[in-house]
Amino acid sequence: MKNSVAMDPIDHTLFRDTLAARAIEEPNTVFLRFGDDTYTIGQINAASNRVANALLGSGLKPGDRVGLMLPSHPDHIIAIFATMKAGLVRVPVNVHAKGPSLEHYFTAYDLAALVADDQYRAQLDEAFVEVAAPAIIWRGSVDGRGDNYEALVAQASDAEPDVCFDTDDILALTPSSGTTGAPKGVLKSDRTLRAGPMAVLKITDARPGDVFLLWEPLHHGAGVAVIISAVLGKVTLAMVERFSVSNFWNDVRRYGVTHIHYLGGVLPLLLKQPPSDQDRDHKVRIAWGGGCPPEIWRDVEERFGVTLREGYGLSELITFVTLNLDRRVGSCGVPLSLYDLKVVDDDGQEVAAGEVGEIVAKSKQPETGFLGYFRNEETTRDTQRDGWLLTGDLARRDEDGFIFYAGRKKEMLRRRGINISAWEVEQVVNKHAAVAECALIGVPSELGEDDLKIVIRLIEGASLDPMALIEFCEARMPYYQVPRYVEEISEFPKTPTQRIRKKELSRSVSSSWDLEATGRTVSRKPVKA
């Protein structure tokens, strides 16, 4: 790549030491707002110490794996910081998981203990019929069953925990997104857990006293990166329980937010809300994240008066390994100077500028590279080639080395001998004024390979004739990308970062609208849009 964004190597200073130092230097600085409650950095540090000492006092020791199944609440932030102070290996448990997906945490990660909120007891009781339960510390328990989180913490010291571990010791197993196949536990050290947040501070240009809106669930790496970056960058957090498109800007105004983070379909959802004379009534300077459709980039900036900055990252590395600080529309930028990136074909050869290939990455600082999957040497090995991490993500690069995301390799569909990027089709369909969001999936074809089915969720109160949608597509995409089937859905199943879980969408077409059933065929010559 010709360009890169300069970033210093990640040093040896443990996160716990930075948090402790800040608590000494500025104990009364506000770190977190949640509802009407305010938490200073001194209070957060002391509370984290108490939880860390309570966990260690329960018999756990550095290196033990501890699951956290907690709601979006300040206690969750404190518990995350506590594991990093105690040298414990945090395993985030998705609070929406149930059945086999929940059981997977206990069969795959060999937990020594689980800190769980009592509201998830029914899910866990069901899971523990099939798998053995670790030691459980219940938060909010009222029936005296099991260890009580509040009681243990109340008896613990708020002194810094007396344990030793290294900056490259493993402190978390971050499950990969799990949109296909069972999630794999990505090994994360103190150093890699700080590297992503340092990139967040780089992309946001955040200054001490700035305010980040924290809407991301903390069982996902993006949310964890935000809270760690707030400690490292002396930023204040405004925490809400969940993402709400209708309350989003009210929360931004209420807390004086200066930076907002977006993922998946967040920006299209915000843009499709009714315009308001308050759209620019806020303090936000920068919206940062990934996945903004290129065609709405300038619309978002103009309507809301913010600057968009995109990046690209993945669970196996860090939050961002590329940054677009130049507002080059549609691009996720160029690599951080910590990483080498290439766009290659199936044989590992770099493709020419403008051609689609797979992103492969390598860290120049080995300690911030891919550390592997927990107890999964075979997949760890298969995910790499000659020292390069195979990301499974497709992209193009321009002559300046800027990366343009082009979807997941596993989501490439093949129709009539032609490869089709689901991502490219979805970008077009999402432009339709009646469509809130959509997903393209392959369905069985009598001719072999795939037929295309577009699943759409309409904006509230809207209606859409499927034929009108097909004609909309014909005018804006090659004939071979135009879907055959159209199906409406009231709500998409999603990951914590608002990505649609395509594997949960039905491949049946029995209730879908079928273009071929109308006797109409797709025009091979798109009309002028």
CB neighbourhood size of 447 (10 A): 9
Task: Classify residue 469: in a domain, yes or no.
Answer: yes
Q: If pLDDT is split at 50, 70 and 90, which confidence band does 2 have?
A: low
Residue ending a domain, among 183, 204, 225, is 204
Q: Work out the percent of the chain whose per-residue pLDDT is above 90.
A: 77
Q: Which residues, in sequence order, are bridge partners of residue 485?
A: 453, 514
State mean pLDDT over 160-173. 97
**3, 4, 118, 160 from 401: Cα distances, Å:** 6, 9, 50, 46
Predicted pLDDT at 180: 41
pLDDT for the residue numbered 73: 97
- Is position 363 within any domain? no
* pLDDT of 392 over the 60 cut: yes
Please give the residue range of the domain that contains residue 167: 11-204
State the CB neighbour count (10 A cutoff) for residue 131: 14
Average pLDDT over residues 199-215: 97
> What average pLDDT score do residues 127-138 get?
94
pLDDT at 506 over 70: yes
Supply the mean pLDDT for the chain: 91
| CATH code, domain carrying 81 | 3.40.50.12780
Decide if pLDDT at 400 tops 90: yes
Q: Using an 8 Å Cβ cutoff, are 171 and 190 in contact?
A: yes
> What's the pLDDT score for residue 228?
98
pLDDT tens for residues 311-348?
Answer: 999 999 999 999 999 999 999 999 999 999 999 998 99
Residue 326 inside a domain? The answer is: no
Name the domain boundary from 204, 223, 252: 204
**Which has the closest alpha carbon to 163: 90, 65, 57?**
57
The answer to whether position 316 is within a domain reads no
- Give the pLDDT score at 527: 42
Q: Which residue has the higher pLDDT, 146 or 45?
A: 45
What is the structure's pLDDT at 450?
Answer: 78
In whole angstroms, give the CA distance from residue 389 to residue 381. Answer: 10
Instruction: Please report the pLDDT score of residue 410 as a whole number.
Output: 78
- Token pair 């395509």 in the structure block, residue: 502
Statement: residue 477 has pLDDT above 50: yes
Mean pLDDT calculated for residue range 230-254: 96
359 found inside a domain:
no
Dist CA 417 CA 337 (whole Å): 39
Q: Report pLDDT digits (tens) over 76-128.
A: 999 999 999 999 999 999 888 888 878 989 999 999 999 999 999 999 999 99
Q: Average the pLDDT over 234-263 and give the result.
A: 95
Looking at the 3D structure of the chain, how many domains does it have?
Answer: 2
CATH number, domain containing residue 496: 3.30.300.30
The DSSP result for 88-114, as a single string, is -EEEE--TT--THHHHHHHHHS--SEE
Would you state the pLDDT for residue 491? 94
Share of the chain above pLDDT 70, in %: 94
28 in any annotated domain: yes
Give me 208's structure tokens: 């001490």
Side-chain half-sphere of 340: how many Cα atoms within 13 Å? 11
What mean pLDDT is predicted for residues 174-188?
A: 72
Structure-block tokens of residue 229: 């970056």
pLDDT at 524 over 70: no
Query: What's the pLDDT at 344?
Result: 95
Residue 343 covered by a domain: no
Last residue of a domain, one of 204, 230, 265: 204
In a domain, 185, yes or no: yes
pLDDT grade, residue 34 (50/70/90)? very high
Do residues 439 and 455 make contact, with C-beta atoms less than 8 angstroms apart? yes
Q: Who wins on pLDDT, 333 or 176?
A: 333
Encode pLDDT of 420-455 as tens digits. Answer: 878 888 988 998 999 999 999 999 876 556 789 999
Query: Which pLDDT score, from 0 to 100, does residue 178 have?
Result: 39
Task: For residue range 348-384, list pLDDT tens digits in order.
Answer: 999 999 998 999 999 999 999 999 999 999 999 999 9
Q: What is the pLDDT of residues 44-85, one digit of tens each?
A: 999 999 999 999 999 999 999 999 999 999 999 999 999 999
Strand ranges, E, within 367-516 = 384-385, 388-397, 403-408, 412-415, 418-421, 435-444, 450-458, 485-488, 513-514
What pLDDT is attached to residue 526?
46
- Greater confidence (176 vs 366) lies with 366
- pLDDT classification of 268: cutoffs 50, 70, 90: confident
Residue-level pLDDT at 24: 98
